[in-house]
Each structure stands twice: as structure tokens, then as C-alpha cells.
Structure 1
Amino acid sequence: MTSEQADRAVLFYESRSFNYDDSWHDHFTQRFAAEISIQPGQHVLDLACGTGLLTFLEADAVGSSGHAIGVDVTPGMLRVAEFKKRKEPEKYAKVDFYQGDILKLQDIEALKGKQFDVITVSSALVLFPDPASAIEHWTEYLKPGGTFAVDSTHPRNLIPGMVLERVARRLDLQVPYNREWSQNESSLKGVLESAGLNVDKVITVENQSGYGKRQYEVGQWDDFFVENVIVKDVARTFANNDIRRKAQGLYKEEWERLAVNGQVEEIDSVFLGVARKPADGSRYVASSSSKETVFEGGCRCGGVRYTSTQQPSHVTFCYCRACSSISGSGYLPFFHVDDDALNFTHTSTMKTLVLSKFADRFFCTGCGAPIGMKYHFEEGVTALVLGSLDLDTFKGTIPKVEQHIFLREKAPWVTVPDDGAKRLETFAFAGQMGIE
């Protein structure tokens, strides 16, 4: 977070300081704390602590023999936290709060030379443009073997704000959050591993703020544009009238892209990850980063075989007419593997099938099994059919479905599962494919 971004965060949260505890955050921090094993006597660092909701829960867990420290950049939030501490001075004698940019912990004198048993970051990771680098910085203050816990948003959580972020990116404007990378549990797991941590678990916490799921009409985009840009734009990102006019058109466009059958679905969930720093203080390297084969696959007759040194990702169910026709079913499920991790060991019966100018498909001529597809505009990645993966060779956990695409072409006899995955009438790259 640059100093300008820190200033924007202060603007964004300062006005919310005195009613922050009246929101869903109080209940969510209790659920967050319940997923971490904090022991009496431990030292805990709570970053982006806000009003201390999580910090005080952690202080209760470590007891009088432990120590809990909260750090936040917003003065108003810390004034509320200090007020709560003064109400119970004896109970919270071992709780301290410091103001500072959590991407510059080295500037906080009280933290110099210290390492902690547990570090937590609740409802804040999406504020940072490079989450892996942020976590690497924070875990410099984590003891070897120590625990790190953090959450990130579901891609359909708080839809109006997510759309606003997309609009700002298209206009090359800065917003005080960065949510686009957080697509599923695997996204958060990958960020934690990229930061050198060994992931214990990543779970989906549903009903974060209590509403579960809700549907908006596609025509409601203007209401949310007015609310978020005209009324709530505290950081004044869209202060210029010309920019607002451009933003209005883009907001409508991005909102409509999310609609399926005239409805935009919002999902009240987040992903929560708990990871550890290796006990020897080294940097953890995920097995998918090595050259070890983590799964094999191929067609039914064996004429096409492949191996992968990378875990599957981006599981997508495609309902387009081509996938339906080729599979003889209602859809084809795909997953992604980087080309440098994929090795085809047998290709004697593999042939290429060109059904459009956008992608090449390949299949087995021996048994007719579809194998995969490569989009021309997506270099370095191959989409493999999920059914081609040999489960008895697989070392890991199949990621959850990330998205259902081309729903406007879905066969009427197919029911899309209510699995919380993203739903698109076309495809995320529809613009590049020339699809309206």
C-alpha cells in the first residue's frame, strides 16, 4: 500500500469508525477467531485491527500471561479500540494498539525485533494490490512454526463494490481495494503458498453478514451507481464530472455482464485461510512448484495420456452448444494447467478439432473422448476436460467449481447446481472473442 493508498483507506474507514461494531463485523470476527488455535501465553499480532474486535478475542485466548497487539492506520478506529480497553483496564493490561501502515511495520518502534506466535488479518487483505507481497512482509514478524490467518472475499460478495472496482480499473483509477484475484478457495491457498507459507486449511465462511444470497434486477445498476459513486465515493475517485459520465456507462456494462436471466446474484461468503511458517524458518515450497507429478490423465482407450506437475485450477462448467454436442451431455467441465507443467506422454490417437476461430479442441480418435482445449488469446495455459483426470493418481484436492459459463446456450433440460460459483451468460473473455 502506497502512502496515497493508505490515505485513501483512512478516508474510507474514518467515517465508519464509530458504528463499525454495530455491523456484521462483530459476529464475523467471532467466527474468524474460532478457526484459529490460540493458546494461553502466546503473543498475537492483529493487523488492520480496526476497533479491536478480533484483538480483544485474541487477548481473551492468550490470557494474562500472553500479549495481544493491534495495528491500524485509521485514527478513528484506534480511538474506539482504546476506549474499549480503558473500560476494562485490568483485563486488557496486556493489550496494546499502535497506529501505522501495516505494509511498513518496520516503522513501528514497538514491533522492532519482535516475532509473534500468531498473526491475523481480518477483512483487510483485499485492500492491498499485491497480497502475496503483503503477506511476505507480515510474516517476517511471525515465529518459525507460527500461525497466520487471513480471509478474502467471494467474487460475488458485495457485488456493487466489485463492479465499481472493475470500472475504476478500466478507467485507470485507483480504488482502496483489490478483489479481482480472489475467486475461490484455491486463489487464497495459492497466495498463501506464494508467500512461503504451508497452508493448513482454506474454508468458505457462508453468511458472513447474515443475508446468504440475494438477487438484484439487471435494471438496478443505476441505483447502485448513484449509491456508490455519487453518495459513497469518500475517496473522491470519481470526483471529475467527465469521469463520472464515463464511469456510468462502464458500470452499466459491467453490471449487465454479471446478469443471468435478467438477475444479478450476490453471495454473502468469504474464504478463510490458516497457514503456518515452516518450523525451521525456511520458505515453504508447494509440491506443485516442484517437478513431481501430481496427477495423470488421458482418454478411455489409452491412446492419449498426460501428466501434470501442477495442481488443477479454474474449474469451469461450459454449457455452450459445442461442448454439449461434443460431450453428448449438457455441459463439459474443464480445469486449467500451465503448459510448462503439462506433458503429453501418448498422442498417437490425439487429433485437433477446430469448431471456431477462438480455440482449438483436441480429442481421441480411438474412443472419441474429448481431452481439452486451447484458447488462442490465452497463452501458456491448457484447459483439460475434468473427466480425463485419473483420480487414483491424484495427489491433492480437486478445487471447487469456479464458474458456469455460456448459460445463455444451456439446454433447457439442464439444472445448474446451486454451488455458489460464478454464473455468466457468455464468458469472461467475451469481448476478446467478439461475442456480445
Structure 2
Amino acid sequence: MCLTGLMADTFGVPRPDKVTYYGQVAGSSAGRDYKQQVLAALDLRPGQTVLDVGCGPGTDLADMAEAVTASGSVIGVDVEPAMVEEASRRLADKPWVEVRRGDAHALPVPDASVDRARADRMVQHVADPAGVFAEFRRVLRPGGLACVAEPDWDSLVIDPGDVETNRAFNRFVCSTMVRNATVGRQLARLAHHAQLEVCDVVTAAPVFRDFTLADKILGLSRNAERAIRAGQLDRAAGERWLAELSAGPFLATSVLFMAVVRRT
């Protein structure tokens, strides 16, 4: 994921290992479903050049490489050296895939050089979303498409548990832990201001019914503890909420926006 610095500290609660975390997202049914939607929206074809901005450890590069075949090329970009190294290792058997270190605000890609671009849950973390969309316009060839997928953390709803605690949890995540927590709903506007044509905006609402998996992917326990330490959630209420969630039956969902945009 292409970051330019963390929005907040972790209040003494460790962040999950990124390679493991990305694998958990991609391996979940919810993750597989929306990622397939993004891949389909890109309409990848043999011979194309495709750019994955914030490629992380290369979780999705192989699928793109198979779609464009060895006659095309895939460029993964990430700001973190460890992610670049891991992605390069994973894709070493596909010489038409190259992984570069770079920032989403200044992509290491020439003007008008890619047919397709993708950003998956990356814009929520950057310092300047508008600047990232300007970079999409710069690097896309005329007629080129980009698909951007972003969650709306303010829409997270969870059952069972106290509704007000759910809302307090959301407020903490949106105000403190995620830089652009509601950027999903802004994607069409950002594209418009960057002079990109908005071809489509669709939503998905991945449903989690397993608390353990949801806890890992949505960060329920770790962010509840951070909210408690930050003084934004009462400890007794937070611990009671988590106990109710883990006892189940459990359900959680939120809105994920996917925007398809074109450089005209």
C-alpha cells in the first residue's frame, strides 16, 4: 500500500504484519469478490500495460500478468522497500512484471504510458487524494481506464452489540486511524476535478459472519483498544461490546465504492 506517512500512532497497540494482512483480505470470500469486480472493470487484454498503484507484496499482480500475458507488461508501485522486495520475489518468474519503489503522488512512470491503472484501498491513506488522481490522468494514455476501490469506514455496521459503541468506534477510526476514511464516496468528484471521465461508480457491501476473520480484517479489537487508550471509548463499554461480538451470532458489513474512470 502506497503511504506517505501514518496519520496517527498506534497508542501502543501493534499494527498487523502487512504481508499477512493483505493475504487475509485477498483470501477471504469478501476480498475475492470485490477484487474480481475490479479486475473485470479494468477489461484487461493481452498486450496492454497495466499499473498497480500501492501494490503491497504483489497480492494481485499475478492475476493482472495472466490477463495481459507476456505480450503486455505489469508495473507495480509501492512506497515501502519491504513491499517492493516481497512483490519482486513473488513475481520473479514473470519477467513482464516490474515492481518499482515510488509514491502515489509522483509515480515513477512516464506520461501517457499505461493503458490501465488500479488502486485498491490505497487512496484512503495518502496525504493528497486529488494529487493521486492527477497522477492517474498524467500516466494514462488517451482512452485508458483506471479503477479505484475504497471503503467508507463511516458506514461500518456491526451486530450484535450496543449501537452507540459501534458509532463511537467508527468515529475514532474515521477521525484518528484512517487519514481519508470516507474517500470512497468522494471518488467520482475527485475524478471529475482531475478531468477524468467517470464511466461508472458501483458499490459492494462485503458481509462478514465470522468474528475472528472480521476482527483481523476490520481491526475491531485492536482499534477498540486504541480508542479506549485515546479516551474516545469507555473501557467497560468497549470490552462489553467486543465480548458480545465474539459471542455471536455475528454480522458486519460496510460500503466499498469502486469507480471506473477514463482519460479522454
- Could you tell me the TM-score, scaled by structure 1's length? 0.45
Corresponding letter in the other structure for 1:227:
R
Deviation (angstroms), 1:190 = 2.2
* Residue from 139, 151, 154 that aligns with 1:153: 151
Distance in 2 between residues matched to 1:152 and 1:12, nearest whole Å: 24
Distance in 2 between residues matched to 1:136 and 1:144, nearest whole Å: 14
Paired residue for 1:246?
A: 231
Structure 2, unaligned runs of 5 or more: 159-164, 212-218, 242-250
Distance in 1 between residues matched to 2:167 and 2:57, nearest whole Å: 25
Corresponding letter in the other structure for 2:196:
L
Instruction: Answer whether contact 1:213 1:267 (CA < 8 A) is retained.
Output: no
Deviation (angstroms), 1:141 = 1.0
Q: How does 1:276-295 map to 2 (within 5 A)?
A: 276-278=262-264
The answer as to 2:28 corresponding to 1:30 is no
Deviation (angstroms), 1:142 = 1.1
Structure number with higher helix proportion: 2
Question: Cα deviation per residue 1:259-301 (whole Å; 9 max; x = unaligned)?
Answer: xxxxxx84243111111011xxxxxxxxxxxxxxxxxxxxxxx
Larger relative contact order (Cα-Cα within 8 Å, sequence gap ≥ 6): 2
Instruction: Answer whether contact 2:110 2:139 (CA < 8 A) is retained.
Output: no
Instruction: Answer whether contact 1:158 1:268 (CA < 8 A) is retained.
Output: yes
Paired residue for 1:192?
A: 191
Distance in 1 between residues matched to 2:15 and 2:136, nearest whole Å: 21
The answer as to 2:98 corresponding to 1:103 is no
Paired residue for 1:292?
A: none
Question: Cα deviation per residue 1:109-130 (whole Å; 9 max; x = unaligned)?
Answer: xx24562111110122222354
Distance in 2 between residues matched to 1:139 and 1:7, nearest whole Å: 30
Distance in 1 between residues matched to 2:131 and 2:69, nearest whole Å: 32
Paired residue for 1:368?
A: none
Larger Rg: 1
Instruction: Answer whether contact 1:13 1:74 (CA < 8 A) is retained.
Output: no
Cα 1:161–1:144 change in 2 (3 A) is: farther
Deviation (angstroms), 1:48 = 0.7
Distance in 1 between residues matched to 2:19 and 2:9, nearest whole Å: 15
* Residue from 245, 257, 261 that aligns with 1:271: 257
Distance in 2 between residues matched to 1:116 and 1:62, nearest whole Å: 12
Q: How does 1:68-87 map to 2 (within 5 A)?
A: 68-86=74-92
Distance in 2 between residues matched to 1:66 and 1:31, nearest whole Å: 21
Paired residue for 1:20?
A: 22
* Residue from 205, 215, 223 that aligns with 1:228: 223
Instruction: Answer whether contact 2:168 2:232 (CA < 8 A) is retained.
Output: no
Identity %: 23
Deviation (angstroms), 1:147 = 0.5
Corresponding letter in the other structure for 2:105:
L
State how many pairs are aligned: 233
Instruction: Answer whether contact 2:7 2:179 (CA < 8 A) is retained.
Output: no
Cα 1:118–1:41 change in 2 (3 A) is: same
Distance in 2 between residues matched to 1:112 and 1:198, nearest whole Å: 21
Paired residue for 1:65?
A: 71
* Residue from 125, 132, 135 that aligns with 2:133: 135
RMSD: 4.0
Distance in 1 between residues matched to 2:127 and 2:170, nearest whole Å: 12
Distance in 1 between residues matched to 2:133 and 2:166, nearest whole Å: 24
Matched residue of 1:248: which SS? coil
Paired residue for 2:114?
A: 116
Distance in 1 between residues matched to 2:40 and 2:3, nearest whole Å: 32
Distance in 2 between residues matched to 1:211 and 1:267, nearest whole Å: 6
Deviation (angstroms), 1:99 = 2.1
Matched residue of 2:57: which SS? coil
- Could you tell me the TM-score, scaled by structure 2's length? 0.70
